[in-house]
Amino acid sequence: MTDSYMPHADQLKSFPDSLPVPGAQAFADAALNLYDNHFPFPLAVLNHRPLAHNLHWMQDYVQKKGISIAPHGKTTMSPELFRKQLDAGAWGLTFATVFQVKAGIEAGAKRFIIANQVVCDADLASLHGLLTKHQDVRVWFLVDSLAQVDYIEAWAARQGKPIRFDCLIEVGVEGQRTGCRDFEQAIGLARRIHGSPTLTLGGIECYEGGLATDTDKDKPAVDALMKRCDDIARACDREQLFEGEEIIMSAGGSAIFDLVVPGLKIGLDKPVRGILRSGCYITHDHGVYRKHLAKVEEREQLRESLQPALEVWTMVQSVPEPGLALLTCGKRDISYDLTLPFVTGYAPIGARARQAPAPDWHIAALNDQHAYLRFDPAGGQPVVGDRIILGISHPCTTFDKWKWMPVVDEQGQARSFITTRF
């Protein structure tokens, strides 16, 4: 982490006032600790050990499978975490928008997949500007229609100079998101791109995450999708519609990523680079992805896999009636789009280690700035000033609520911090 990433301290929610200049070295030297209440609460926290474990585990997984990973950066939008993923061996990074690519360039990445269609004039101009300024950077975006090709070519023609963009054909699923719905549409699009003065076809892409049900239906559904990608890729290869030294085959959300792996390793005339795009693995979660991963572990016969690394620390601010405590955390601080948060830990006033909460403690509701902790008043009761630690479901929508997060060890000591670019 370098100080070039640091915004002004006044812009950082829950950053300690004792450090008006949030430099990396000053932060480390301050020896800040969660258990000493050196930070205002709520505070989103990255736990060092599971974070490091997840980085290593996923990189080891893709290497053993003979594929690459370009983690989806929209999860964290953090240059510091992108740098860790690249240092661990990531081939490149994935994003959803041209704007997001800028954060990846800030982290030093050179290869990007924009797993989305680019159609806006301003985005096309911005992408062209980035590629012109950073000539060692390469970006592939998704194309799924002749109309999109026509739009991009018309924009390029108005610029009055030669412009080339790399692209991937997206294969979609009926009733779901973007992507070509059948073979004929995809191969017709590939032929059109091959003759385009503006676009260069680099490979085939799909997204299988919408097929995840955690049932026996998942594998046949994903196999059918990957078979369609295979058929399209082989047809394009036979007609020599791909350009470049290698062909990209890319898929992989964070739920059922193991099921797409065989379809990323097909044999064509040119070398094929299979690229997984999972993003949430870096912190995992305590909810939806933990549930999905249990199925991955079962299918892959894994003894260990990803670990939850992201939590939000809160404080009890009021116990207004028996069985109810109000916490200093709300929708502005923690994800709530898939499930409510989970109570994962408890640190009473003065404690210097976390304890397991009572089994009945649970978050029943969230307001903008409050969480409702319900509990059996006949059992253990939290008091004002206790720290309650919350796990999350779906890390993407917790990261986007924070401009920074400390990375802490098991003793609550803040070792470093990351920033985000939402």
Residue 402 has pLDDT above 70, yes or no: yes
With CA atoms as reference, report the closest residue to 309 among 124, 97, 52, 108. Answer: 52
Q: pLDDT tens-digit profile of 36-46?
A: 999 999 999 99
pLDDT in tens, 299-330: 999 989 999 999 999 999 999 999 999 999 99
Encode pLDDT of 96-145 as tens digits. Answer: 999 999 999 999 999 999 999 999 999 999 999 999 999 999 999 999 99
Q: How confident is the model at residue 20 (pLDDT cuts 50, 70, 90)?
A: low
**Phi, psi (5° rounding) for residue 110?**
-120, -15
**Which pLDDT does position 2 carry in this prediction?**
46
Q: Region of 300 please: left (phi>0), alpha (psi -120 to 50) or beta.
A: alpha
3-state class percentages of the chain: helix first, strand second, coil last, to nearest 5: 35, 25, 40
Question: DSSP string covering 353-412, please?
Answer: S-BPPPTT-EEEEE-SS-EEEE--TTS----TT-EEEEE-S-THHHHTT-SEEEEE-TTS
Q: Token digits for 186? A: 């995809």
| Cα–Cα distance, 62 to 83 (Å, whole number) | 18
**Percent above pLDDT 90 for the chain:** 92
Residue 385 has pLDDT above 70, yes or no: yes
> Span 279-286, mean pLDDT?
97
- On the question of pLDDT at 223 being above 70, the answer is yes
Residue 389 scores a pLDDT above 90:
yes
pLDDT of residue 10: 77
Terminal alpha carbon distance of the chain: 18
Residue 1 has pLDDT above 50, yes or no: no
Angle at 40 between CA 44 and CA 18, to 5 degrees: 115
- Confidence band of 28 (pLDDT split at 50, 70, 90): confident
Q: Are 42 and 271 in contact (CB under 8 A)?
A: no
DSSP string, 204-250: EEE--GGG--SSTTHHHHHHHHHHHHHHHHHHHHHTT---SSSEEEE
3-state secondary structure of 143: strand
pLDDT digits 0-9 by tens, 226-276: 999 999 999 999 999 999 999 999 998 999 999 999 999 999 999 999 999
What is the spatial distance between Cα 78 and Cα 284, in angstroms, rounded to a whole number? 15
Instruction: Spell out a b/e string for 49-62, using b for 16 or more CB atoms within 10 Å of the CB, else e.
Output: ebbebbbebbbebb
